[in-house]
Amino acid sequence: MILEIMQKEADETKLAEEIPLKILAHNGLVGRLIGKEGRNLKKIEHETGTKITISSLQDLSIYNPERTITVKGSVEACANAEIEIMKKLREAFENDMLAVNTHSGYFSSLYPHHQFGPFPHHHSYPEQEIVNLFIPTQAVGAIIGKKGAHIKQLARFAGASIKIAPAEGPDVSERMVIITGPPEAQFKAQGRIFGKLKEENFFNPKEEVKLEAHIRVPSSTAGRVIGKGGKTVNELQNLTSAEVIVPRDQTPDENEEVIVRIIGHFFASQTAQRKIREIVQQVKQQEQKYPQGVASQRSK
């Protein structure tokens, strides 16, 4: 429908050139859309009667991880090509998410039609998680909204509790948003906050919104998150492209927990949060199985 409107407009303003359809896709997915020796793309072109080009790698930057897919052809042909292109991209994206081996809840908010329900076992309720997300002080008003309308709506949409901590001093540049809820609620709430900051232009338009998130992990698992010689934390950073900082000399709080800092754009941050929660779960399960074994190793 959008293409038809554009085409009509072009005809009326006597624009000679055809109206191409442009689709943005993350560079990480484009290779699989193109396929070996361009086979996938050629197949889509052939089947839909379109001409498809993809912007060069040179246009990519740290702030712009997306490539532009340009489709030329009749309105109907472009619409058909769009269906096929999105199918391929979605497939690639889902495979990546499965490879990252994330929680069930991660998906169901992205693809509600999939049966990765948020409650994998009937009896266990999803674990409540607390994430502290830091936003620019000047963005607080936008997140709260008039008389708190936006933050209330956000909490309802996500199924999470969302509170903004009081400022620690008069001229702090960041404020802490405390989000409490299961994985799926975290995904939705954080996604909306990142999105809102981009929409309201708190970040330069060419810049991906990057925020710092803090999650608490039992101090006994911090070593596992770091890994031998920092191996695990480095792998985490490479896999998710988020910066992950596990302070080595942090004094645990009253619950024997320490803070892990995660800095990155939305997907990177989500993936890192999931991975870290997973490591913590694994350690917990091992401790339940071998309560003595783990304790004795720790004293070495």
Q: Which domains does the chain have, with CATH numbers?
A: 2-99 (3.30.1370.10), 123-298 (3.30.310.210)
CA-wise closest residue to 71 among 4, 2, 19, 27: 19
What is the percent of the chain with per-residue pLDDT over 70, rounded to a whole number?
86
Helix ranges (H only) for 102-230 are 104-108, 140-144, 149-158, 183-199, 219-226
Q: Which run of H or E residues covers position 214?
A: strand 211-218
Return the pLDDT at 107.
Answer: 43
Instruction: With a cut of 70, say whether residue 291 has pLDDT above it.
Output: no
Structure confidence at residue 74 as a pLDDT band (50, 70, 90):
very high
Return the pLDDT at 62.
Answer: 60
For 235-252, the pLDDT digits (tens) are: 888 888 899 999 878 888
212, 273 contact by CB (below 8 A): no
Q: What are phi and psi of 169, to 5 degrees?
A: -160, 175
Supply the mean pLDDT for the chain. Answer: 84
